[in-house]
Copies of this chain bind each other. A is one copy, B any other.
Amino acid sequence: MLDLLEVAAEPNRRRLLQLLARGESTVTELAGAFPVSRSAISQHLLLLAEVGLVSARKSGRNRYYSLEEAGMARLRQAFDSFWTHELDLLVADAAALNSRTPHPDPPTPQAGEL
């Protein structure tokens, strides 16, 4: 599996990325937040590393994983590239239909946002 978006989309890996956004962490620490084994988490991390979304630093007998910023930027670009202008228009319509909450930020094509 080489596809960036597909790799990042898997629920456990998504969660891993979010946890790592808080800061670097070991496999065991991360695994504590999941119902599955360390092994499973380790393999998810290896896959994330393979596509350049994370990297590891060895210290003692621990390996500290952390987000690879350039990779995450590529992920962001991939999603933005997927989310074409047509989709923006469609979703804007949908939001107008079923929301009494006046959209505060979301549909605004902010520079750093989206």
Contact = CB atoms under 8 A, between A and B. Distances in A.
B3 A77 contact: no
A78 B93 CA distance: 18
Contacts of A17: 82, 87
A94 B87 CA distance: 27
A91 to B, nearest CB: 5
Q: Dominant SS at the A interface?
A: helix
Interface residues of A, number: 49
A57 interface: no
A15 to B, nearest CB: 9
Interface of A: 3-6, 8-11, 14, 17-18, 21-22, 67, 69-70, 72-74, 76-84, 86-88, 90-95, 97-98, 103-106, 108, 110-114
A74 B18 CA distance: 19
Contacts of A93: 69
